[in-house]
Amino acid sequence: DAGVIQSPRHEVTEMGQEVTLRCKPISGHNSLFWYRQTMMRGLELLIYFNNNVPIDDSGMPEDRFSAKMPNASFSTLKIQPSEPRDSAVYFCASSFLRLAGGFFRNEQFFGPGTRLTVL
């Protein structure tokens, strides 16, 4: 079975350019998450969707960041304009949120990440 797919795997761009990161969740999963990983701040949750609807975007750092999920099999994270401090590894994760035995099965499965470098 295919896991979470992210593209591109590496992106190098210049400050001020628009960057679009893409994610295809695991088929059948109903929740999708975007994370950012840096040495200084570790793993941070940026935004997540349930059934394609954004639920919590409080982790999105600034208005320069936006995320969309037009359908159950695709999501994008856009940075416009990009800045050097946006350089990081961006992970997409998905989960199949459901009740089991009175508790939620909510484990998240991560994609390989996109390493973004903004010069």
Contact residues for another protein (CB under 8 A)? 31, 33, 42-43, 45, 48, 50, 55-56, 89, 91, 93, 95, 97, 103-113, 115
* CB-side neighbour CA atoms (13 Å) of 84: 1
**Is there a contact between 31 and 49 (Cβ–Cβ < 8 Å)?**
yes
**Is there a contact between 23 and 74 (Cβ–Cβ < 8 Å)?**
yes
Residue 117 class from Cβ within 10 Å (0-12 exposed, 13-18 middle, 19+ buried)? middle
Q: Which is nearer to another protein, 44 or 81 (CB)?
A: 44
Least CB distance to another protein at residue 73 (A): 19
Least CB distance to another protein at residue 16 (A): 27
* CB-side neighbour CA atoms (13 Å) of 26: 17
Least CB distance to another protein at residue 4 (A): 9
Least CB distance to another protein at residue 81 (A): 26
Q: Which is nearer to another protein, 79 or 93 (CB)?
A: 93
Q: Which is nearer to another protein, 10 or 80 (CB)?
A: 10
Longest dimension (CA), the chain: 50
Q: Which is nearer to another protein, 33 or 65 (CB)?
A: 33
